Amino acid sequence: MNLIFLGAPGAGKGTQAEIVCEKLGIPALSTGNMLREAVKNATPTGLAAKEYMDRGDLVPDDIVIGILKDRIAKPDAKNGFILDGFPRTVAQAEALDKMGVSIDKVIEIYVPDDVICGRLSGRRVCESCGASYHVDHKPTKSEGVCDSCGGKVVQRVDDKPETVLSRLATYHEKTAPLKDYYQAKGKLKTVVGQDSIADTAKLTLEAIEG
Ligand code: AMP
C-alpha cells in the first residue's frame, strides 16, 4: 500500500503517519525529517536546503525529488510506504508518476489555518529521531526528552510565528493544487483533523480502509 498524507504544516500528517505506519507495518517517509537530518550532518544536500527551510520556503524540486527517489529504493519501502510531506508541488507529483510509483490513496488531513497557527507554536520535535510532540496535546513524559529515543526535544526554527504564516501561504499556493491533481485521479480522501489525535487516527484509518 503506497499512501500520501497531504495537508498544511501542523495538520498532523507526521503524527498520524507514525500511528498508521505501525498499524500497517510500512515505513513513514518524511522529506522534512530527511532534510533536517541532512542539515544537521552538513551534507551537500543539507547545505543547499538550509536557507530555504529556515525561511519557510520549499526546497527546490530537483533536490527533494532526488532524496525521495533514493529513499523509496531502500528495501524497507518495497512493500509500501506513507509519504509525509511529499509531494508538495505538482512537479513533484509528476516526478513520482514518472518514477512509476503507483499511489493507492491520498489522505488529506484538513485543519483550518487559525487552528494550525496555535498548534505549531506548541509543537516540539526530537532532534535525533524526528518524533513529534505538543506542549499541551502530546507532551513528553520528561521535559525536553524524547519518549522514544531519549534525544533532545526542541522547537523547530521554522515553527516560529513569523515563519509559520509564510509556510501556510506557500501551502495554499503550491501544495493545495495537489488536491485537484489527485481528485481527478479518483484517489483523494479528506479527513477533518480533530482535537484528539486518537479521533483523527480513527478517521484516517477508516479513510484508508474505506
Ligand atoms: P516538514 O517537516 O514537512 O514541515 O518540512 C520542513 C521543511 O522542509 C519545509 O518547510 C520545506 O522547506 C522542506 N521540505 C520538506 N518536504 C519538502 C518537499 N516535498 N518539497 C520542498 N520542500 C520540502
9: Cβ below 6 Å to ligand 1? yes
**Which of the residues 55, 138, 156, 202 is marked catalytic?**
156
24: Cβ below 6 Å to ligand 1? no
Which ligand 1 atom is at minimum distance from the Cα of 56? 10
Active site residue 36: no
pLDDT by residue (tens digit) across 113-159?
999 998 899 999 999 998 989 998 899 999 999 999 999 999 988 89
- What integer pLDDT is reported at residue 84 of this predicted model? 97
pLDDT by residue (tens digit) across 160-199?
888 899 999 999 999 999 999 999 999 999 999 998 999 9
171: Cβ below 6 Å to ligand 1? no
Q: Is residue 125 helix, strand or coil? A: strand
pLDDT by residue (tens digit) across 74-87?
999 999 999 999 99
Q: How many whole angstroms separate alpha carbon 155 and alpha carbon 160?
A: 8
Confidence bin at 26 (pLDDT 50/70/90)? very high
Q: Locate all alpha helices (DSSP H) within the chain, ordered by sequence.
A: 13-24, 31-40, 44-55, 61-72, 90-98, 113-122, 161-170, 177-183, 197-209
Percent of the chain with pLDDT strictly greater than 70: 100
- What integer pLDDT is reported at residue 210 of this predicted model? 81
- What integer pLDDT is reported at residue 162 of this predicted model? 84
Confidence bin at 106 (pLDDT 50/70/90)? very high
Distances (CA, A) of 126 to 21, 98, 154: 18, 34, 6
**Ligand 1 center to residue 165 CA distance, Å?**
15
79 Cβ neighbours under 8 A, 6+ residues apart = 25, 26
Which ligand 1 atom is at minimum distance from the Cα of 60? 21
Please provide the average confidence, as pLDDT, over all residues in the chain.
95
- What integer pLDDT is reported at residue 170 of this predicted model? 95
- What integer pLDDT is reported at residue 118 of this predicted model? 86
